[in-house]
Amino acid sequence: MKIRNFNIKDYNKIIRLWETCELPYKPKGRDSKEKMQEELKKGIAVFLVAEEKGNLIGSVLATHDGRKGWINRLSVLPEYRKQGIGAMLVKEAEKRLDEIGIEIIACLIEDGNDTSLQVFSKLGYLEFPGMHYLTKRKYPDV
């Protein structure tokens, strides 16, 4: 198994991975091929995949806005879970963000995703009380 940068040629494979992992993603919005291509060009994304024998078995998309980093799209195929692959992906993403001076990293976890809450808590992420997440969306599927 190796961790490497995502390449836009992996697009169909990454979509299959996310579907299998039942990861909520936005194929008509920010996860469309075009939007991802743009995002990669902007240089604000550390998009990593775990690959074994040509198959994508995991992913993490870390983005930053110059001040703060975000962990998105963390996924590992069900049959590869609980072997430390998710942790490896997050740690590599954190390292890459640290190298460019990002000192705070956050992630958003949907209500009910207890596994993810536990995984991020194991990885040292603390729930931040008293915070509301507000967004303004150009269109519903953005």
Ligand X SMILES: CC(C)(COP(=O)(O)OP(=O)(O)OC[C@H]1O[C@@H](n2cnc3c(N)ncnc32)[C@H](O)[C@@H]1OP(=O)(O)O)[C@@H](O)C(=O)NCCC(=O)NCCS
Q: Does 124 bind ligand X (CB under 6 A)?
A: no
Pairing relation of β-strands 105-106 and 69-76?
A: parallel
Q: Which is nearer to ligand X, 2 or 34 (CB)?
A: 2
Of residues 64-83, those binding ligand X (CB under 6 A): 74-76, 81-83
Among 20, 32, 55, 113, binds ligand X (CB under 6 A): 113
Residue of 33, 109, 102, 117 whose CA lies nearest to 63: 102
Q: Does 86 bind ligand X (CB under 6 A)?
A: yes
Judged by CB under 6 A, the number of residues near ligand X is 19
In the chain, the amino acid numbered 104 is: I
Give the 3-state DSSP-derived string for 93-137, with helices as H, strands as E and coil as C: HHHHHHHCCCCCEECCCCCCCHHHHHHHHHCCCCCCCCCCCCCCC
Q: Does 119 bind ligand X (CB under 6 A)?
A: yes
Strand partners, 1: none
Q: Does 109 bind ligand X (CB under 6 A)?
A: yes
* Helix segments in 21-113, DSSP class H: 33-42, 85-99
Selected range binding ligand X among 25-33, 34-42, 91-99, 115-123, rule: CB under 6 A: 115-123
Applying CB under 6 A, which residues contact ligand X? Answer: 21, 23, 74-76, 81-87, 109, 113, 115-116, 118-119, 122
